[in-house]
Amino acid sequence: MANKLKNVVINTLYKGWATLNEVSFSYKMKNESWVNQKRESYDRGDGATVLLYNKINKTVILTKQFRVSTFLNGNDSGFVLEACAGMLDNDQPEACIIREIEEETGYKVDTVTKIFKAYSSPGALTEILHYFTAEYTDDMKVSDGGGLDSEHEDIEVLEIPFTEALQMIKTGQLVDIKTICLLQYAQINNVFEA
């Protein structure tokens, strides 16, 4: 790729909860011509997400919380159903998601299974999201969850039958891409089978 890019200049436009950079560069096209391009790239760090599933009850744990960006783009309530997730915050992905599971859902799990990692929205975000699955049982519940007060989280924890969660994709009740990916992974890979 080094021979496809040159003259890369990164200019920070805003630095707050995340960083918005303007990136100017020259890019070599297939026809060997060079074009100058300018793009904005949003950097908020990498994250992790997990599908918590119960084989016995054939249920999944999802969270419901307000997401201002969805409100700004047509979601009248601003609330979104989604899989448990969080930012790595200098942790390894496994440690991050185990911490987030307990904070958000109130379940304490010891092990998670990494299934893949992927860019969330490569046209605009630098974020790589690490995807996991983890089995839970009723006796793993150690608190009500709901997130951390210090982070002003206000999370509702929902236990939903797996088949109902899949149906919610079709009806448009479930619109979060990471959650859709995890549910479809579970369906394709028969995670509820023996």
Domain residues of the chain, as ranges?
Answer: 5-43, 47-188
Length of the chain: 194
Q: What is the pLDDT of residues 105-133, one digit of tens each?
A: 999 999 999 999 999 999 999 999 999 99
Tokens encoding 99: 């911490």
Residue 44: the pLDDT is: 92
Rg (CA), the chain: 19
Q: What dihedral do alpha carbons 29, 33, 38, 39 form, nearest 10°?
A: 0
Q: How far apart are CA 181 and CA 83, in angstroms?
A: 10
Residue stretches of the chain with pLDDT short of 50 = none
Residue 43: the pLDDT is: 95
Tokens encoding 119: 């860019």
Whole-prediction pTM = 0.92
Residue 37: the pLDDT is: 95
Q: Which CATH class is domain 47-188?
A: alpha beta
Residue 9: the pLDDT is: 97
